């Protein structure tokens, strides 16, 4: 049977197929409201649209050689609803049975279905991201979402591999496992450098040329020396890379997220799968300790709570669940709506730019310069090898004799080159010197920087914090802005006792107080806290800690002896608490009151003196106490008073008390904030709270809010143009009603302005902002696990003062690294100058290879470590933050380096020329004095390097015992080296006068340093005065022209 295809495609809506529309109700009426009605209406429209698209695109088909045209569908609709306003329908398509039938796939229908599905999923994801409860209910609640995602709330997805695979391809997981860097990968990265390649070439040529010139017995020595240098240049970076990878457990932790197991319902049964295999529509079973694997909706459960929100209870009124949060209580089921990059967390993370650490950028720039210097030195080594080979070939008469016909100037030039490149016996030749310098520069500095960072990381953290980034602590020294939320785990009410006032005087030594007053004061502090059935506040904890430390309070003994009879708390305005108690076995009751000083003072009629005598409070004395309280409050101290009274009645009395004393508590959090502001760091309070509440908190913390522009709403900031935001960002002190995305946007804008940003966060939705910031910080157990894993520093005690300590140590570490760089560059430049000049004139250098190794050793190890462990100075945190745009080697450092290097080179080269004649010594004695003088110049230069700016290089030197140990140890080792060299190598011994001359040469470096800094100060003062005269006003010269990158102009007061 066949059917010829006609030229006209007709669409028979009555005879071919029909659409059955059934009444959804039992009584013949149709429900015209509810999400099911809307959803089925949409299905009808989509099916009709797809049917027409399919009909329009059908083509002629051939079956067994017979051309067949499939019959187009016929669509009929009926409505049995009562009011005709809506449709509650059941859909079915029934085809006629043609003589030849064939199911035809329609690409147009598939594309249309896919497009509609994507739009549907986008709308579902939007509702969950916005936590729009009204839209969720209009959609039909969780059941409506389940129908849209083709899943069953009880049985889950059908256990169909094709469907699961299709869902996984539609929305893949966003997390990718970072590649594992193994041994050979790191080895290849370290070796894949021009420097290593050129050195290998030098080693091969040196061995070949050496064997050709000197034979197999000794010709390979220099080549082997270069190979040893290559081994050092390869092995040290590899060790450092492994150290860095070990120091960053965060990357390893995050990579394990893909291996977390979750429980899903598929096909009516429960399965355990990896979190990476979760797809949209899955039904997840969650219990305490589980991580929420995706964005979704709460289905059912009992007491389900997560650690992601302040209102963490998840129920029908708060059904939205976000990826990354952790279940802290209860159990329940959730419907997966979005996974991977489509989650709230994934969408924000896609906007995160993982910029390089500012300090890492600086070190990379410095390392690039070192690599360039290394390549140039290696090229020079190659040239030396070729020239030496040519000169040795021409020594028989092919090169030097030709010079007779040349001019005298050319002959002298060739002679100088010959002296440079020739290989003297028993001395340090140019090739060896260049190789040693290359190793010292290329790896000496990075090694010491690594040691310094490791030391100061331990010093800064002190067991109170953990760093997950090796450079995090030192980066804190560069931070210019800290963004924090009031709910990020910070203890805003941290306090400590600052003053104790009893009977007209303040006490620092509690031993001067009578024992009965101390006993009563201890009970006054402890019993109100013991009588309350609630957990103690941070202020009460600090009071107990102070009383235990200063007054000898034994809280456990007091708990055993005392019987609490009555407890009473005053109202919120009066801020007080009273306890009636008696000792076990006694009948006398004692009333103890603690609270606001003005409230307790009003209850008192007498007071204790420090000697234990009781005195009456008259009107004049009461006014005096009120003035003391006002003075303490004027110093931003929270003033607490303690009252006491013994009575025979079992009633807590509020009058006739004895005033025990006044305590002034300072807010340590406020003090830490003020310290940060004093260090040039801006604090921005960013939270979801309303503006009035957040502004009051900011003022309480000591933040300065100069005008109304300093307080903005997150919505206004978010909706502003980029140009307006960039104008607003520096003025913002408080951002209220802000979303997590607003925090991320704020951090990005601050970084774009050139700020170094530290972000303090606690919740999972803040992890993008934590990762975007230069330093991400979380505070202790109050933060979520994912927030802690995404941060660089975790402060476990939630103390903001710990953050200030880390910042101070970071600045100190950076400054100490600069000191070491100054010392390293000074000795290197001086040695190069000495090498070049003496080699040109004499054909060798006065210092042997072993002696130069010794110089490098004392500069890098004892001297370097002594400088790197210099403690922070009192003025360090009064400077501005370190600017990340500058090089670690500042103009101030070059000002210090160049004169010292020129002095050392000039004095020692001069001594090489005339020292033997002036002092009437032998050549061996002269060379030995040059070596000792060079070493002592470095030792005395340690003092100069301690202060990059100030002239008083001895200030605070007593605080660094390592410095004195390094200096004494180096001088002792120098004397031992000279003695051993005299025995083993027959080098010359020095008499006391010659030793004194060497010390004098070294000590002159102090004079050079003082003169250079004094001259710099004089020029700065003259420049400053000229600006005043020309402009009629005071203006500061550029800090970059004369000083360190973060320091003010030096003054004479620094002496």
The residues annotated with a catalytic role in the active site are 485
Quote the DSSP letter at residue 313.
B
Using the 8-state DSSP alphabet, how is residue 470 labeled? T
| Three-class DSSP labels, 94-127 | EECCCCCCCCCCCHHHHHHHHHHHHHHHHHHHHH
Q: Is-contact 931 851, C-beta < 8 A?
A: yes
Q: Which two tokens stand for residue 285?
A: 């079973």
Gap between the Cα atoms of 431 and 424, Å rounded: 11
Cβ neighbours of 694 (radius 10 Å)? 23
CB atoms within 10 A of CB 630: 12
In this structure, the number of other CB atoms found within 10 A of the CB of residue 983 comes to 9
Q: Which residues contact 744 (CB under 8 A, 6 or more apart)?
A: 348, 351, 352, 768, 769, 772
> What is the total residue count of the chain?
1055
CB of 766 closer than 8 Å to CB of 743: yes
CA angle 595–597–602, rounded 5-degree value = 100
Nearest to 378 by CA among 240, 603, 197: 197
Could you tell me which of 605, 587, 603, 599 has the C-alpha nearest to residue 653?
A: 603
Contact 889, 365 (CB under 8 A): no
CA–CA separation, 595 vs 529, rounded Å? 11
Q: Please give the full DSSP string across 817-836, using - where no structure is assigned.
A: HHHHHHHHHHHHHHHHHHHH
DSSP 276: G
Q: What are phi and psi for residue 962, nearest 5 degrees?
A: -65, -30
Q: Is 973 helix (H, G, I), strand (E, B) or coil?
A: helix
Between the CA of residue 299 and those of 121, 152, 296, 304, 832, what are the distances in Å?
19, 11, 9, 11, 76
DSSP state of 551: I
CA nearest 822: which of 952, 946, 937, 934? Answer: 946
- Paired tokens of 918: 């002036």
CA-closest candidate to residue 608, choices 547, 646, 661: 661
- How does 755-765 read in b/e, with b if 16+ C-beta sit within 10 Å? bbbbbbbbbbb
Give the DSSP letter of residue 737.
Answer: S
Tokens standing for 589? 């009751």
Q: What single string gives the DSSP state of each residue in 149-168?
A: TT-BTTTBB---HHHHHHHH
**Tokens (6 digits) for 30:** 């149709």
Whether residue 1013 contacts residue 1051, with contact meaning beta carbons closer than 8 Å, is answered with: no
**Strand ranges (E), 423-510:** 465-467, 481-484, 495-502, 505-506
Residue 33: C-alpha distances to residues 83, 138, 140, 498, 987 (Å): 12, 10, 11, 68, 107
Structure tokens at 99: 């003589």
Separation CA 479–CA 811 (nearest Å): 10
Pairing relationship of beta strands 711-713 and 734-736 according to DSSP bridges: parallel
Q: Are 542 and 574 in contact (CB under 8 A)?
A: no
SS3 256: helix
């Amino acid at each position: 049977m066949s059917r010829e295809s006609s030229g006209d495609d007709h669409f028979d809506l009555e005879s071919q197929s029909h659409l059955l529309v059934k009444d959804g109700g039992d009584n013949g009426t149709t429900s015209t409201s509810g999400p099911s009605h809307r959803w089925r209406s949409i299905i009808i429209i989509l099916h009709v649209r797809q049917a027409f698209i399919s009909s329009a695109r059908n083509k002629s088909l051939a079956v067994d050689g017979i051309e067949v045209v499939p019959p187009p569908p016929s669509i009929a609709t009926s409505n049995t609803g009562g009011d005709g306003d809506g449709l509650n329908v059941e859909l079915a398509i029934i085809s006629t049975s043609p003589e030849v039938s064939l199911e035809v796939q329609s690409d147009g229908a598939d594309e249309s279905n896919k497009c509609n599905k994507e739009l549907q999923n986008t709308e579902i994801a939007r509702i969950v991201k916005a936590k729009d409860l009204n839209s969720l209910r209009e959609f039909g609640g969780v059941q409506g979402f389940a129908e849209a995602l083709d899943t069953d709330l009880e049985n889950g997805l059908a256990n169909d591999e094709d469907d699961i695979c299709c869902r996984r391809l539609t929305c893949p997981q966003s997390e990718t496992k970072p590649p594992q860097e193994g041994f050979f990968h790191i080895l290849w990265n370290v070796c894949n450098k021009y420097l290593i390649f050129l050195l290998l070439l030098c080693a091969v040529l040196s061995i070949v040329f050496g064997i050709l010139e000197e034979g197999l017995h000794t010709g390979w020595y220099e080549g082997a020396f270069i190979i040893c240098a290559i081994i050092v240049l390869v092995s040290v970076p590899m060790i450092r890379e492994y150290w860095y990878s070990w120091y960053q457990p965060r990357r390893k932790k995050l990579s394990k997220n893909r291996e977390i197991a979750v429980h899903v319902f598929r096909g009516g049964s429960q399965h355990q799968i990896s979190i990476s295999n979760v797809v949209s529509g899955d039904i997840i079973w969650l219990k305490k300790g589980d991580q929420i694997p995706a964005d979704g909706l709460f289905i059912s459960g009992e007491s389900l709570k997560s650690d992601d929100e302040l209102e963490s209870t998840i129920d029908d009124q708060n059904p939205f669940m976000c990826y990354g949060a952790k279940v802290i209580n209860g159990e329940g089921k959730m419907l997966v709506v979005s996974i991977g990059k489509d989650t709230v967390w994934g969408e924000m993370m896609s906007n995160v730019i993982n910029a390089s650490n500012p300090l890492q950028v600086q070190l990379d720039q410095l390392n690039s310069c070192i690599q360039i210097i290394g390549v140039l030195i290696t090229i020079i080594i190659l040239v030396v090898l070729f020239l030496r080979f040519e000169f040795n070939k021409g020594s028989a008469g092919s090169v030097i004799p030709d010079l007779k016909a040349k001019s005298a100037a050319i002959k002298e030039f060739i002679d100088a080159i010959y002296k440079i490149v020739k290989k003297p016996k028993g001395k340090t030749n140019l090739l060896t010197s260049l190789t040693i310098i290359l190793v010292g520069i290329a790896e000496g500095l990075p090694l010491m920087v690594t040691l310094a960072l490791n030391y100061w990381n331990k010093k800064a953290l002190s067991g109170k914090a953990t760093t997950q980034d090796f450079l995090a602590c030192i980066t804190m020294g560069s931070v210019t802005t800290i963004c924090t939320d009031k709910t990020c785990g910070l203890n805003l009410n941290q306090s400590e006792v600052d003053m104790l006032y009893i009977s007209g005087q303040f006490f620092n030594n509690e031993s001067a107080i009578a024992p009965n007053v101390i006993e009563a004061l201890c009970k006054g502090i402890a019993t109100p806290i013991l009588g309350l059935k609630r957990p103690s506040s941070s202020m009460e904890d600090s009071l107990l800690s102070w009383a235990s430390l200063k007054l000898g309070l034994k809280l456990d003994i007091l708990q055993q002896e005392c019987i609490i009879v009555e407890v009473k708390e005053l109202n919120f305005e009066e801020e007080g608490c009273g306890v009636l108690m008696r000792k076990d076995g006694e009948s006398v009751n004692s009333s103890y009151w603690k609270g606001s000083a003005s409230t307790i003072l009003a209850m008192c009629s007498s007071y204790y003196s420090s000697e234990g005598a009781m005195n009456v409070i008259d009107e004049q004395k009461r006014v005096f106490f009120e003035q003391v309280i006002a003075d303490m409050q004027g110093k931003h101290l929270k003033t607490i008073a303690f009252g006491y009274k013994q009575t025979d009645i079992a009633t807590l009395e509020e009058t006739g008390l004895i005033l025990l004393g006044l305590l002034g508590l300072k807010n340590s959090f406020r003090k830490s904030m003020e310290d940060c502001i004093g260090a040039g760091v801006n604090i921005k309070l960013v939270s979801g709270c309303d503006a009035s509440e957040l502004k009051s908190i900011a003022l309480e913390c000591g933040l300065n809010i100069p005008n109304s522009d300093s307080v903005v709403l997150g919505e206004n900031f978010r909706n502003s143009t980029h140009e307006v935001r960039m104008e607003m960002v520096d003025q913002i002190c408080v951002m209220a009603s802000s979303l997590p995305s607003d925090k991320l946007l704020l951090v990005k804008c601050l970084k774009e302005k050139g700020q170094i940003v530290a972000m303090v966060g606690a919740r999972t939705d803040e992890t993008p902002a934590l990762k975007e910031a230069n330093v991400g910080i979380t505070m202790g157990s109050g933060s979520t696990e994912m927030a802690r894993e995404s941060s660089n520093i975790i402060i476990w005690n939630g103390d903001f003062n710990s953050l200030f300590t880390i910042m101070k140590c970071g600045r100190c570490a950076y400054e100490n690294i600069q000191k070491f760089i100054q010392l390293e560059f000074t000795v290197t430049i001086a040695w190069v100058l000495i090498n070049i000049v003496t080699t040109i004139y004499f054909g060798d250098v006065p210092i042997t290879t072993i002696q130069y190794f010794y110089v490098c050793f004392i500069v890098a190890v004892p001297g370097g470590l002594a400088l790197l462990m210099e403690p922070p100075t009192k003025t360090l945190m009064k400077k501005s933050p370190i600017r990340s745009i500058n090089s670690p080697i500042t103009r101030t450092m070059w000002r210090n380096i160049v004169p010292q290097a020129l002095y050392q080179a000039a004095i020692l080269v001069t001594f090489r020329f005339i020292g033997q004649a002036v002092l009437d010594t032998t050549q061996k004695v002269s060379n030995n004095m040059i070596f000792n003088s060079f070493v002592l110049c470095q030792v005395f230069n340690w003092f100069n390097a301690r202060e990059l700016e100030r002239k008083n290089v001895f200030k605070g030197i007593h605080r660094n015992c390592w410095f004195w140990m390094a200096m004494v140890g180096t001088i002792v080792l120098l004397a031992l080296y000279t003695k051993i060299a005299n025995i083993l190598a027959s080098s010359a011994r020095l008499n006391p006068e010659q030793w004194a001359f060497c010390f004098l040469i070294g000590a002159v470096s102090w004079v050079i340093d003082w003169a250079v800094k004094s001259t710099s100060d004089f020029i700065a003062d003259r420049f400053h005065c000229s600006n005043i005269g020309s402009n009629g006003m005071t203006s500061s010269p550029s800090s970059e022209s004369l000083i360190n990158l973060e320091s003010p102009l030096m003054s004479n007061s620094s002496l």
